[in-house]
Amino acid sequence: MENIDVIVLRRLRDWRLAGQSALLATVVRTWGSSPRPVGSIMGLAQSGAVVGSVSGGCIEDDLIYRFTQSRDLGSSGQASPMEGPPQTLRYGITADEAHRFGLPCGGTLELLLEFNPDAQSLSALVAQLESGTLMQRTTELKTGDVTIAPARQADGLQLTETALINTFGPEYRMLLIGAGQLAEYLATMALFNGFMVTVCDPRNEYTDSWSVSGVKIIAEWPDDTVRQFKPDQRTCVLALTHDPKLDDLALMEALRTDAFYVGAIGSRANNESRRVRLIEHFDQTPPTLEKLRGPIGIFIGSKTPAEIAVSVMAEVLAVKNGVPLPRDFNVAHAKNQSDGLIV
C-alpha cells in the first residue's frame, strides 16, 4: 500500500483534471486527544467521493453533508459551494459536539479547507513525490495560491498568520536482507503500513519461493544493494539471514547512511558476537555501532515468525514516529529480567 498522502493527492489531482470541484482538508491544530494527527489530509469531490481521513468518520460525514448533500445551507438552498479562499473549521469545541463527531473526551481539532486546488500544481507535486523527492507545499491563506519546492528535511506542518506549510514525502522504504519466512511476514505488514519494500537475497532457493506481491526482489550481494539503495531518513534496513557473510557487510554499509532504523535479527549472544566481529575485523567502534539495533523488536514473548514480525514492525514504527519505547519493552533488557539477570 502506498503512502496515504500520495494516494490522496493523486486522487485529488485526477478529480480536478476531470473538471470536478473538490476540496483538500488538512488537520492544522489539535487540542487534547485527537483521532488523527496534525498534517493529516483528505480529499472530497463534488460527487461525495472521499479519499484519506481527518477523523474516525463522523467529521468526514459532516463535510460531505456541508459541501455535497445539504439542502439547508447557503442562500440558494444548495450545499455550501466549493469555492473561495481557504477557510477553517473547528470541531469538538463543546462536549456535545465532541460526542456528536466521535472525538475523544476533551478533543478538539481544526481543519483548513482549500477549495478547487489547482490541477497543474497537484500534478507537479504528485510527479515529484512519485520520483522520490521530499516536497514542501505552501498555501497562502488569503488567496489560496500554492507554491511547491523540494524540501531538505521532513519538517512538521507549520501554520502561520499568512500561510500553511506542509511537507510531503515519498513512501517510507524498508530494505530487508534475506527472503525467508520472517521477511515475508514483515514485508506484508510493512506494505499495509505504507512502506515500499525491497528484499535482497542472492540465494535463489529463497527468492524462488517468495510469495508476497508488491515487493521488489534483488538477487545481488547485500552490501552492493545497500550502496545502490542509498538509504535516507525515510529508510529502514533489517538484516534477517543469520548469515554473517550476508548480514555483516550490509549492516556496515547501512550504518554509514541516514537510515532511521538499522537492525539485525538474532539472539543476544549472536548480536554480541556480531558487534565483536564488526569491531575486530571491520574497524568499527562502540560509538559507530550505537545506531545498530539488536535483538530487534519489542518484547512480547514471541516465538513464531509471525509474532516476531509483529514485534519488529512495532519497534520500526515507534522509531519512525519518534516514540521512545519503555526500557521494559526492549528485547535484551526484558529477557535479562526474565532470566533473573541484573541489568
**Full strand arrangement of the beta sheet holding 163-168:** 146-150, 135-140, 163-168, 158-159
- Closest to 11 in 3D by CA, of 3, 275, 111: 3
Positions of the chain with pLDDT lower than 70, given as ranges: 1-2, 33-34, 56, 70-79, 93-107, 327-343
Maximum C-alpha span of the chain: 78
Distance CA 220, CA 229 (A): 12
Q: Is the pTM of this model over 0.75?
A: no
Same domain, 154 and 11: yes
The domain boundary residue, chosen from 168, 183, 209: 168
The domain boundary residue, chosen from 168, 194, 224: 168
Is 230 part of a structural domain of the chain? yes
Neighbours of 38 (CB within 10 A): 16
What is the H or E stretch that residue 36 is in? none
Same domain, 52 and 19: yes
Same domain, 245 and 331: yes
Same domain, 132 and 161: yes
Is 220 part of a structural domain of the chain? yes
The confidence score (pLDDT) of residue 94 equals: 59
Is 261 part of a structural domain of the chain? yes
The one-letter amino acid code at 172 reads: Y
Same domain, 153 and 116: yes
Domain of 110? 4-168
- Closest to 252 in 3D by CA, of 280, 228, 284: 284
Same domain, 41 and 163: yes
C-alpha cell recorded at residue 90? 473547528
How many domains is the chain partitioned into structurally? 2
Is 32 part of a structural domain of the chain? yes
Same domain, 81 and 24: yes
Is 343 part of a structural domain of the chain? no
Same domain, 265 and 220: yes
The confidence score (pLDDT) of residue 113 equals: 97
Q: Where are the beta strands (DSSP E) in 132-241?
A: 135-140, 146-150, 158-159, 163-168, 172-177, 195-200, 216-218, 235-239
Same domain, 212 and 237: yes
Find out whether 40 and 142 touch, Cβ atoms under 8 Å. no
Q: What is the DSSP letter of 212?
A: -
Kind of pairing between the strands at 146-150 and 135-140? antiparallel
Distance CA 178, CA 251 (A): 13
Same domain, 47 and 142: yes
Residue with cell string 521512545? 324
What is the H or E stretch that residue 123 is in? helix 119-130
The domain boundary residue, chosen from 130, 148, 168: 168
The confidence score (pLDDT) of residue 15 equals: 97
Same domain, 242 and 222: yes
The one-letter amino acid code at 148 reads: I
The one-letter amino acid code at 102 reads: G
Same domain, 265 and 301: yes
- Closest to 243 in 3D by CA, of 215, 288, 277, 218: 277
C-alpha cell recorded at residue 160? 502561520
CATH number where 320 lies: 3.40.50.720
Distance CA 40, CA 252 (A): 36
